[in-house]
Every structure is written in structure tokens, then in C-alpha cells.
Structure 1
Amino acid sequence: MVVFRSGLFFLAFLVIGGAWGQTMATVDRQALAELESLAAQHPSSKALVLAAQGHPVALVQGRATVGFIGLLNADTTPTAWRTWAQAHEAVFPGACRHGVASFRVDANHLDVLEALPMDRLELASRAVPNLDKARYGTRVDSVHAGLDLPTAFHGEGVLVGVLDWGFDYTHPMFYDTALTASRIRGVWDQYRTAGEAPDGFDYGAASLEPWEIQLMGSDTSNVYGYSTHGTHVAGIAAGGGAGVGLTGMAPASDLLLATLMVDEAAALDAFAWMQDVAEADNKRLVINNSWGLPQWGTPDGTSLSNVFIDGLSEDGVVFVSSNGNNGDSNFHIEQTFTTAGDTARSKVQFYPLSAHPHAWGQNLTLWGEPGEAFSANFMVTVGASTEVNQSPWFNTADGPFMLEAVHVAMEDTFVYDVVAEAAHPDNGRPFLQLRIHKGNTGLGVALQMTADQGTVHAWNHTHLSNDVGNWGQDFQAATSGWLQGTPAYGIQQPACGESVIAIGAYASEYLNSQGTEVGGSPAYFSSHGPTLDGRLKPNVSAPGVNVESSLSSFRDGAYAVTEEVEFDGMTYEFAKLSGTSMSSPAVAGIVALMLEANQNLSPSDVRDILEVTARQDQATGALPAEGEVEWGHGKVNAHQAVLAALNWVSWVGHPTLPDNPTGEDLMAQPNPAQERVLVSGNLSAQSTYRLVDTRGRVWQEGPASPVFRIDLQGMPPGVYVVMAWDPELQTSHTTRVVKTQ
């Protein structure tokens, strides 16, 4: 560590060489340094956990432990890893799937990290909930009624996993519709100290016995107290109605409820536990995540937690996640640089220190393109944009490094730290994090960034000193030529993952007393896509405004109660809450209906069906075939999704469809369609097409061209495949079309 003074700032600078053999992001090393300092200040484990609420620290067997995720090296098998971990008292192994392992380490013995048999290591991120007349709007009521379906579907035979906080195991919403038996298949309270942990894990208490679950009553108080978030979310996904008609999407599904200890390492453990139960029961599993990791990890789905999730998806687990609640924050800017010396500027809005007991300042995270270094600093301003002075410039090409500094301007002091990577271990992109504390000064701060070429993205999040904030603050165009922030690129982990179905939110439609449909507008808070690497998110949208569902009878917070029901001598209540926390479980429940209809659907099949059957209306407007960053592909349509699921076909192994088409790259509009569809693609004028159903029967064939029309009138509803052959290019091209009534 070198400390020096230059001009108006003091600087403490540390170049990262790394004592550990594993690849680890510098921002994680910075957090570990903070944890080591906190551990030295707080020898009591309980005191350390309280002092480190902004970090993945939790009590396990009475010891303060830190959550990690690692990638095993090529010579280490999962069995060898567990043997190694069990031989080290400071290490608590968790789940291991597809070479990615979660584990915890005693906070006072982090030196054991040096010997880990791993190639890559990540500090687990803190998780926070995404909380800020759904059956009609989603058309689930038609599925429950069996309208134009061979039978009604309610999610029977499918497990719905909910990873959250604040579960009331006794609530009648989690009973069958006759209120005679609980549908909770199993629970794992990762905070509970009394009871047996699940097989293969060392913390919390789990049960698969209905009588024992009822005796437990609820999960224990945790970082969110006695919350009700999980009870509300689970009720939306799979509530049985509790005798008052407030039925969830999949009222016949069984539930797996896991109370998340604090971070994504514990989340991966819960995913693995749910997968184990589902495999033992020989049932399909859909997992809902109404929480996110707003400031940590990579926004392009390349983190180890997303690699873990992608692996479980390959095993058949379907993941549904809330998109995030930063749709009303203009917290993102981007600039494409083409000329050396060009500089982009934007004013940084700060969250008021008085608004939160742990408010500290702003966390600015910047990402560039692989191989294209960039530089950034901050300017202190007075008035709208008049410069007072600037911090030094920091170039990602000098990374990896981290530093802490004090900057003085007009007798006011700014405390800040910087972390930089020339190539982040997860994705090879240059990365820079700049955290700034300006106290109560009236001076302003502007971010400046420059590069010779390439695009640089920046986000502005609130930073808390002893907690995790999941809300953005604006970037502002304080003067002409400065950048104005937008809500774009707001997708958080785990929703940004390739295999995760990300859900946006809108206000539920309903029929008013005159029989007119009202509502349906987009939720102001629903985060916008795409991901950093340009993939469309959200995939679809669902109701997330004033959604009515169950409240925990054990909660310690006050809510505006909308409904009450008496059950077993107790009063149970309901309330309306808003957030993508509410829209995600709606889709998770719909996925359960789809899996009941067709147990053979892969997670990618589920995603494709949801996208291709999503509906558009006056609120969405006409959406492009590739989707749109606020709505995704439109509003989820359970009825059409279940209808499509019944007739869906995968390419591989089908007797009449090509196993390896050049690509499912034709575009069909509209889709779904009732009468006709317009198909376009990279085809020559000599091309031909066939329209086949899922049994391989040919319904139509004829000439194709770059744009051609297919008439669907008179054909039965269902899923069809358009197969085009181009003799000039010697290529085959395909797409699926859903024919509606």
C-alpha cells in the first residue's frame, strides 16, 4: 500500500497481484479486505454479522461465515471437493453442480481461500426482494375452466419452488381447495438453528414431513424480521384460494419453500435442495425468484451463479425471475467513442443521506467492450455544471487495482474508492467501480468517461454502509452536450442469465361493473432491458401492480388488509402488493400449468412458448417480432401457452423435422395468428415451404420467397412448423406458428 498526497487529494493505492491462486474479480478482493477489517473490529460472531449487513455474512453453527461460489479446477471432482472441504474446519461446503460449487468460510479464517482447489472464485452477492385480479389478465381463469382444452389444468404433479423470506406454513392458501391437507411438500429455513439440515448441508433446518412443518409454523426472524414477502409470493404462484376465491395460478401444485439466508451462495444451495426433492419425487420443478442482486456480479449472465443456474436448466429445472424494479430510474448512460479524446459527462444524482439510516453515497459501475480500455473520473461542480476541480483519471488498462482516496473541493471533503479490471474474470470486459461519499455538501458530482473507441456503459446505484440497496438514482444532463440517463439495461441477476425467464410487470386488467375491461398499462417500476450483451429481457410481462395475495400471520409489519378468513381458530389475512416480485410468481405458476400439460417440455421450450403465445393489446401496442425492452414479447397468455404446450414439439429426435436446421430463423407475424401469417427470412426466390403439425402431417406446401404469406383459415388451433428449403443456398430454415381460435 502506497499513500501519497498530490494537489487536493490523499490517495491510498493498491495494485492487485493476488495471494490466491484462483482468478477473482478485484471488486470481490476489495470486499474481502473490508470484511477482514470488520472481523478484526468485531471478535463476536453475532456482532460481526450485524456490522456486515452489506456483505454475504451469516451465522452457521454459531460462527460468522462468508458465502462464496467457485469453479472447481479440472483435477477436482465434486466428491474430492467435498472431502477436501470437510477436512478443513473453516469451510462449509454447499451445493455442487456442473463444476460450480457454493460454500461458506469462517470469517476469521479467510486465509484458507489460498488453498482452495478452484480455478475461479466469486464472493457471493447479497440478495434483496424486488417488492415495490391477476388470473383474468393472464387468462389463467380460462385454463382453470378448461376452456377449449381437453381438460382443466391446475398444476397437479408439478413442484413450485419459492426462494424468499417470510413464509407462514399454516396459511390456508397453501392447503388444497377443500382445505383438508397442506400442499407444502418441504421447507428449508436456512436461518433456523433447531432441527436437522438437509442432507449434504451444514446449516438451517429442513423438513419434508407435513406434521413437522405445521409445528414449525413459520420461518424464523431474519435480516428482514418476520416478513410476509414469501407468503404473498407463494400465494400468487400456487395459492389454493383459502376458501375465499383468491386462487393462485397453480392451485394444485405442491410447494417447496426455502428461506434464503442472505446471499447467492445460499440460493444455489436451495436450488440444489429443491432439485434433489423433485428428482426423488420424479416431478418437474419450476423455481421462482422474486429477488435480485442489484450491484454485484455481471449484467450479462456470465457470473458463476448464472453458470450454476444454466447447468440446472440443462437438467430440466425451469427458472423464473423478477426483472427488477428500476424502471423509473434514469440510472444508465452509454457512450460509443470513435475519436480519441472525446469525453462523455453526466451529473450524478445522490440519494439523500437522511432517507436511510445506512445511506452512504453512490456506487457507479462501468463496463466496456472486451479489449477496449476506457478511463473515468469525477468532477466536482457548483451550480448546474460549473467545474470546481476533478479527481485523477483512472484507466482500466492499469488494472487490476483498487484504491481509497480523499478529495477536497472548496473546503468540502469527498471520500471515494475505485476498483478497476483490465479484463473482468467473468467476461473479459474492462470494468471500473467508483463509490463516492460527499456528505451533506451542496456541491455536485459529475461522472466523466473517455475511450479511444468502443462503447462504455455506466449505472448509478445507491450504496449503503451496512446493507444492500436495490434502487438506482438518475444520471442527469446538467447542461448541453451532457448525457441524460435512461432506464435501459436495467436487468439484474439472476434474471439476466441465458436460461432464466425474466418477467416484467404491468397493472392487472379487470372487468368493471359495466363489463368493460380496464387497466393493463405498464408498471412504472418494471426494469427495462436488454442485458449488457444485447439479449432481450424481459421475456414476457405479467400483472405486478396491486396483486392480492396472502399475508403471513407471523409478520411484524403493518399492511392494508383487504380480506380475512377464519381457519383452525385463527384469522388469516390478505393484502395487495406491487412489484416485479408479484409478476414473477404469476408466470412461475403458469409454467406449472404448462408442465402439467406436457411433462416433456425443456426449459427453452417453456421460454419459447411463453414468448410466441404472449398477447399484445392497446397498452403494449404492436411489438416487433423480436420483442421490446419494456414488455418483452408481450403479456403472458396462460391459455394459449397451455394450448401450445399440449402440442409442442422439440426439434431433436423428431421423425419428420430436421435435427439440425440452419436455424429457427424465419420470422412470422403476427404470431399467434388466427387467419393468416406473413413469413420472412433469408430465402431466395426459388425456395419452397411446408407447413406441418406436431405429428409431422403436411397441411400446406408451396413456393416461398424472402416474404410470403400462409393462409391459416379452416385449420384447427395448435402449433405448426414452417419449414423452408432454399435450393440455391442449400439451406433449411424454420419457425413455429401458433394458430388460435
Structure 2
Amino acid sequence: MYWIGFLLIALTLLNIPVKVDVPSHSFADLIVELDEGMVGRLETLGHVRMVMSGIATLRVSRHLIDDVVGIVRAVYSPRRFTPSLEVSTAEIGLPEIMEMKGLNTAGIDGSNVLIAIIDTGVDYNHPAFKDSEGRSRILYIWDQTLEGKPPKSFDYGYECSPEEINSGGCPERDVNGHGTLVASIAAGSSGVARSASLIVVKAGGPVCDGRFWSFDEAGLLDALAYVHEKAVELGMRLVINLSLGTDIGGHDGNSPLEKVLDSLVEQGVVVVVAAGNSAADGRHVKLHTSAEAPVGIRFNIPDQTSEYSISLVTQPDEGLGLTLVSPGGEKLEIGLNRTENWKAYEVSTESYKRGSIWEGLLTVTGPVEGLWRLEVSENSLDSRLLHLWLESDTCSSLRESFTAGVGYEISQESTVSIPGTASKVITVGAYMTRNRWVTESGRTVGVDGVVGSLEYYSGRGPTIDGRVKPDVTAPGGVIIGAKSRDMGGVSIDPSGLERPGRGTSMATPHVAGVAALILQISPTTTAEHVAYVIQKTARQDNFTGSIGSAGSNAWGWGKLNAVIAYPLIIQITGYTPSTLSLSVNGTSTPLSSGRAEIILLKNTLYELRPVFTGDGVDVRYRVEPEKYYVSSAGEVIFSVSAQYHVNVFGGDGELLYSGWVPSKTVLDLENLSGLGAGQGFHLVRRSVAGYYVDGSFFLERRVLVDRPANIYIVVAEDYTGLLLVAVISAVIPVSIYLGWVYARYRRNRW
């Protein structure tokens, strides 16, 4: 079994957490793959700590391991993971995005987004993590290395509440400093997402007298379950930063840890993982097996090493012969899935088969220093491609490595570490943004490398199943960030509060911070779309060369670009009701004026639609066009008009008109009532004298409609026609009589 880190046991004295590194021989921490409904049976054998996506972690008595094997689909030995170790924020364009403000955000700084740092801990009192009021933006800390107050659902560790963190009563310390530096890049006061909240899990523990750090896979799985549960409780979108990795595994995205990470992404969690630092370490070889003669693969294990492992991946496994040759020349034919004592060594093997891919694991424990050889023979007639990765627990300044030989190639390909080979995570490589800096004493120090170039150590793809990795590259060397005051001073530190760092560990939190900015701008976007935006906005330059749509196994889709958004001007013409909102892909934001600016994500299609919450029985609004689709900067103009319901009543109270009238329309009451010109001759002529609205009288015949109204026409009656008829009626008889009198007079005269 591949030994992992320490089994940490802590004692509590007078309620003060005290860490004591004592190996446990009676219990084992296991990772199992299980079918639905098996958790109850597992709980009868040991303590189940977390269950997610068919993967569980549990602690069980060693004599019950065989019972566990008998009821689950697979048992995995937890692997050891190691950390993957100003100018950089300007390099990615952060100042430009920070200046953007709009209707949907007062500033792009990661507000209301939670970033989880699973690492060596954090100096939670560092000023980099304080807000403007002096309160910590770190909401919770779970120190898995201490005992005394475990989080709910877990039986170990110490969870610090916000109150303990802000009062300085949290016992957690970051003596390594890696976690503090990573957290400050992602969300420190000079980092990327400067107002994001943090949750920190201190996992693993120191090795090699504190010079290095090691993470236990079971603890990482527990940490993932913990931070996800907290994010759900807080109602916040979550970004997980994993600046760590291992080369032991299938490199096809199917390890237990990677399956859990992919499941979290499907649930909306953005997971950002380091590509690893082993591209130039000579720890990956590939070869084509041959039935003609075995291939002897040589590798060197440095001093101060007690264990090494070799991961083998091919397809299929039938017919593959393996012989291990020790530094002394002794040979051992290796069988699968067994442990045996050989000479001064313990040799154990495990194997897994997933579809067409076979993964084997060889672990050797003991005084392993020296030059070894693994002879690979092909017992079938077919040749096949075989990959091998080497890793050890060495405390030496030298690393384990393959040495050149005949029949195999030491390759930088497929050196992205696990869990960076997971399908749905954002995997981050590193490039150089600084090679000189000034120490606290005023001395200028530096490292080799060309600013702008890909870091020589940055893990390369593809994955074993042919996917492009990494997804993007980000500043990884040399990065200046927060220094934990729990660690000792180093002569190359720029100040007592800062330290330099180099590695894909430093590149990864840059991307995690940008992911938080994306979620702040678009809180409902999927985790998959966050990765898409980061890929598509990545920039290319002379160092990356032209990168096609398929991506690059060195650079991903390019260098990280924090300018992931653009401002769009919204113009409302015509009528602007107080109840107007703008719907952006279904999420509404109130509009307080007829002109506004909104911040939108690049490489994202948006549907913009004005929404009027004031529509009722007497008022309604109409807009042209009803909606816009946008994906780039510019100006969008909506023309809005209001319509009011109007009733017009005649002088006798009869309803003359009832309907919707556009705002600012002028109603001619004479035409509506039929009392205007053209109505012919009437003895009594009726006309509009004015109207009543809301109890007020207006001496007008036209109405300007600016609200819903009941209009009552006041009618005036004109009797001129009747008088004329009366006059005419009187004049005609008189005229006839006078005519008759005149006629008689004329006759009598003549």
C-alpha cells in the first residue's frame, strides 16, 4: 500500500489544541468506490467521513480491511499530494476590469463569492485578509491537524468560527506559508478578487523535518465535502483552489479525487487546479512494448528516501511482464495486487481497469537509494504504448528521476499532475512575469528565465485519454504575495509581510480569483461556462504563438486575461416608468433612469428585455423592440410607451368610449361625442363646453391623456336654431298678410 503522510492524533490539554505526530498502527484511512445503498454496511465496519459521487472516505481497523474489500467496488490507497509552487495582477489586466462599474455592480472585486483554499493553512491575522473595517474576510477555518472542535459530519480537526477568527482565538497556524501566499494571490488586499470571502482548510502535514509538506488524499476529499457544505449553508457561489498534485495515477481523469471534483463542477462549483511542476523533472517516460526483447527502464532514487512509487498506464494489461531489478542487481518478478517482503524491501502492487485503460501501481519501501531498473516485457504479439510516472517521499534536495536509456523516451508530454487531469476542472499552467526583485535589505536577487515565457517546469498535456490540458496559463514566477508570520524569515523576502513564490501553485489562484470575478458579474452562470469564458478570453502573444481553436498542450488556450467583461450602454427613450427593470438572461435589475451602463461577460450571449412591474388594469407599457440579443460592447436603445385605460361619458352619463390610449394622445371630445362640426341643423344645438376629471372641471374640448381617467363631458345647449325657427314662423304669416294687403291696395287704386 502506498503510504501517505501522517496519521495525525491530537491531544487537548486545558482546551488548548496541541498537535502530536503519532503514527497509528491499528487504523487505516481508505478511499472506496461503492454502489448506492452500501453506506449503511460500511458504517458497521468503520467511520464513514464523507460520501460524494460514489466515493467515500472512511477510517477502519486494519483487521477489517478485507471485509471492506468484499462489499465495495474498489478500494484505493490514499495518495500523497505535494504543493505546486503588483506585477502579475497588472499582467493579467486586473486594473482595467477593476475600473468597470455598472447597473449590476458597483465594482468588480469578487464580492459575495466564496473562495476555498485547501492548503497548508493561513495566517488569518495577516492584513491582506482584512476588510476596510478591520474584520477578516476569512469566514471559517478547518484545521485538520488539530483536535478539539471538529466540524459537524466529521470526527476530527478543529473548526474556527468567524468569532474566533476575528478575536484572534483560532489556534490554526501556517508554519509552511504556502497556503497564506496562495490565498493572498486569489483574494488578498493586493490580489485578484479583493473583496471575496475565504474559507480555508489546513490539510496534510509537514515532512522532512518541516522542510516539505504532504497532503493526504482522504483529507482532501473530506475538505471538499466540508467547503461545499459551507457554501450551501451560506448561499454563496464557490470557487475551490487546489495548488497541489501528484504524478501517481492514471492521468485520465478517473481517480476518486477527480471524480468528486467533476461532480462538484456539475453542481455549480468552479474548481481550479495546478498543472504541476514536473515537466522538466524527468519523471515521465513512454515506450512501445515489444515481444522481441524486454525494455529496461532505469531510474535513480536519491538518498533520504524511504519509499517510491511507479504508476503504469497502458491498454490492455494482459500479457505485460514486469521485473524489478534492485541497485544490487537482484531481480523480482512482479505479480499484481499483492504485497511481499523481498530482500530489505517491501514491494506492493495494485491494479485498476477502467474501460480500455489499465492502471498499475508499484510501491517499494525500505532503503531504496540507488539506481534501479524496471524491465518490461511484452508476452503478446501486439505492441502497445506504455506510460510510467515516478514519485517518492524523498527529503533530498535532488528528485527521483528516470535516466536515459534504450527503448524508451523521457517525455515532458502528459506531465499535468493529478487532479489537473480531471475532465471538468480548470487546469492552470505557469509563465514568468518577474525574474528580479528587491529584498528587505535592499539587495536585488533573481532567477533564471525570460519574462513572458512558459515556465520550464509547467506541466504539459495531453491527458492519457487525449484531452488538451492545461486550460490556461497564468503568472507563476516570480510572484510576490503575503508571507505567513508563523514561518521563519528568509533573506530573499521583500518585507516582513511579503515573500516570493514560484510554481503553478502561484498561477492557480490568479485563475481562481478571476473565476470569482466572473461569478460576481454573473451569479447564475454555470461552472462550465466560467471555464469557457476563461478559455475564450485568454490572450495570445509572441511567446504563445498562434493557438488554434483546439488549444495547446503547453499553453492551454493562452495566457489568463482578467478583462472578462465589457460595459454595455442601455438607453430608454420615450417613457421611463418608475417600475422599469432590465431583465438580463432572466435576472432583473431596476432601472432608475433612462440611461444606464451594465457590465456583461465576454463570450456570452445575453437576452436583454425591459420588464414593467407596474402593469395593471388601468396602465400598460409597450416597448420596441421587445428584446435584444447582445454579446459585445455597444449601445442598446429601447423605445418605451405607456398606454392608459380611458372611459369617456356623455352629458347624459352614457358611455361614449372605453379603451387603451397611448400616453400624450390628445382626445377630441367633440368628435368622440358626435357634437362637433358637421352634425347638421338642430333646433337646439348641443356642444362640448368642457369636461370633469377627478372632480375638477376643465373648460376645454380636448384632453391630453397622461394617466388613466374617467372623463365626463359637460354639454352646452344652443337655442339659436329654435329662435330662428320661431322668428321665421312668425315672419312668414306676417309677410303673407302684408303681401295680401299690398295686393288689395294696388287693385283698389287702379
**In structure 1, which of residues 318, 327, 332 is the aligned counterpart of residue 279 of structure 2?**
327
**Residues 426 and 59 of structure 1: CA distance in aligned 2, closer, same or farther (over 3 Å):** farther
Equivalent in the alignment of 1:722 = none
Taking only aligned residues, the RMSD between alpha carbons, in angstroms, comes to 4.1
Identical-residue share of aligned pairs (%): 25
Alpha carbons of 1:492 and 1:134: their partners in 2 closer, same or farther (altered >3 Å)? same
Contact 2:325 2:332 in 1 (8 A): no
Tell me which residue corresponds to 1:700: none
Give the counterpart of 2:236 among 283, 288, 311: 283
Select the residue among 387, 394, 417 that pairs with 2:347.
417
Q: Secondary structure at the match of 1:615?
A: coil
Judged with a 3 Å threshold, the aligned counterparts in structure 2 of structure 1 residues 299 and 182 are, in CA distance, closer, same or farther, namely same
Going from structure 1 to structure 2, the CA distance change for 1:391 and 1:206 (only over 3 Å counts) comes to same
Residue 150 (structure 1) shift: 7.6
Counterpart pick for 2:298 among 339, 347, 351: 347
Contact 2:314 2:357 in 1 (8 A): no
Code of the aligned partner of 1:367: V
Q: Which residue of 2 aligns with 1:237?
A: 186
Query: Which residue of the other structure, out of 153, 176, 198, is the alignment partner of 1:255?
Result: 198
Tell me the equivalent position of 1:476: 404
Residue number in structure 2 paired with 1:612: 536
Normalized against structure 2, the TM-score is what? 0.65
Aligned to 2:121: 166
Return the match for 1:303 from 255, 275, 278. 255
Q: Deviations over 1:659-699 (max 9, x none)?
A: xxxxxxxxxxxxx99xxxxxxxxxxxxxxxxxx954399xx
Task: Give the AA of the match of 1:251.
Answer: R
Match of 2:663 in 1: none
Report the 3-state secondary structure (helix = DSSP H, G, I; strand = E; otherwise coil) of the residue aligned with 2:410: coil
CA contact (8 A) 1:326 1:472 kept: no
Is 1:496 matched up with 2:421?
yes
Q: Which amino acid aligns with 1:308?
A: V
Higher relative contact order (CA 8 A, sep 6+): 1
Q: Return closer, same or farther for 1:609/1:472 CA change in 2, 3 Å cut-off.
A: farther
- Report the Cα distance in structure 1 between the residues aligned to 2:524 and 2:239, rounded to whole angstroms: 13
1:521 aligns with 2:458: no
Residue pair 2:173, 2:486 contacting (<8 A) in 1 also? no
**Which AA in structure 2 matches 1:498?**
S
Q: Aligned to 2:199, what secondary structure does the other structure show?
A: strand
Distance in 1 separating the partners of 2:10 and 2:383:
47
> What are the equivalent positions in structure 2 for 1:247-646 lying under 5 Å apart?
247-261=190-204, 262-295=215-248, 297-337=249-289, 340-341=291-292, 343-348=294-299, 350-353=300-303, 357=304, 359-360=305-306, 363-370=309-316, 373-378=319-324, 391=331, 394=334, 399-406=336-343, 417=347, 419=349, 421=351, 423-424=352-353, 428-429=357-358, 431=360, 433=362, 435=364, 445=373, 447-450=375-378, 452-464=381-393, 473-477=401-405, 481-508=406-433, 519-556=451-488, 558=490, 560-564=492-496, 573-639=497-563, 641-643=564-566
Map of 2:607 onto structure 1: 695
Q: TM-score, normalised by structure 1?
A: 0.66
In the TM superposition, what is the alpha-carbon distance from 1:236 to its structure 2 partner? Answer: 0.3
Whole-angstrom distance in 2 between the partners of 1:555 and 1:300 = 37
CA distance, structure 2, for counterparts of residue 504 and residue 622 of structure 1 = 17
Which residue is equivalent to 1:190? 144
Q: Distance in 1 between matches of 2:151 and 2:548?
A: 46
Distance 1:63 1:217 in 2: 30
User: C-alpha displacement at 1:239, in angstroms?
Assistant: 0.2
Which one of 53, 59, 66 corresponds to residue 98 of structure 1?
A: 53
1:418, distance to aligned residue in structure 2 (A): 5.7
Give the residue type in structure 2 aligned to 1:97: M
Distance 2:284 2:569 in 1: 41
Would the aligned equivalents of 1:69 and 1:103 in 2 still touch at CA under 8 Å? yes
- The structural deviation recorded for 1:260 is 0.8
Whole-angstrom CA distance in 1 between matches of 2:78 and 2:358: 20
Question: Does the 8 Å CA contact 2:297/2:402 hold for their aligned counterparts?
Answer: no
CA displacement at 1:541 relative to structure 2: 0.6
Farther off after superposition, 253-262 or 432-441: 432-441
Task: Give the letter for the 2:235 counterpart.
Answer: N
Return closer, same or farther for 1:345/1:147 CA change in 2, 3 Å cut-off: farther
Alignment check: 8 A CA contact 2:286 2:411 kept:
no
| Cα distance in 2 between the residues matched to 1:645 and 1:391 | 70
* Cα separation, partners in 2 of 1:59 and 1:145, compared to 1, 3 Å: farther
Cα offset for 1:102? 1.8
State the AA in 2 paired with 1:119: R
Distance in 2 (CA, whole Å) between partners of 1:646 and 1:377 is: 69
Match of 1:17 in 2: none
Offset at residue 547 of structure 1 (A): 0.4
Per the TM alignment, residue 532 of structure 1 is displaced from its structure 2 partner at its CA by 1.7
Deviates more, 1:503-512 or 1:155-164: 503-512
1:234 partner SS: helix
Paired AA for residue 96 in structure 1:
V
**Are 2:118 and 2:220, in contact at CA under 8 Å, matched by a contact in 1?**
yes
What is the total number of aligned residue pairs between the two structures? 552
Cα distance in 2 between the residues matched to 1:539 and 1:130: 17
Q: Unaligned 5+ residue runs, structure 2? A: 12-19, 205-214, 438-449, 571-584, 587-601, 610-629, 635-750
The DSSP-based 3-state class of the residue aligned with 1:562 is coil
Whole-angstrom CA distance in 2 between matches of 1:616 and 1:417: 47
Distance change in 2, residues 1:361/1:257 (3 Å): closer
Task: Quote the Cα distance in structure 2 between the aligned partners of 1:583 and 1:142.
Answer: 20
**Residues 644 and 106 (structure 1), Cα distance of their counterparts in 2 relative to 1, 3 Å cut:** farther
Residue in structure 2 matched with residue 75 of structure 1 by the alignment: 37
Does the 8 Å contact 1:415/1:437 carry over to 2?
Answer: yes
Residue type of the partner of 1:281? L
Q: Is the 8 A contact 1:418 1:435 kept in 2?
A: yes
CA distance in 1, matches of 2:113, 2:9: 40
Rate the CA distance shift 1:437–1:278 in 2: closer, same or farther, 3 A: closer
Q: Per the alignment, do residues 306 and 197 of structure 1 end up closer, same or farther by CA in structure 2, a change over 3 Å counting?
A: same
Give the 5 Å matches for 1:135-150: 135-146=89-100
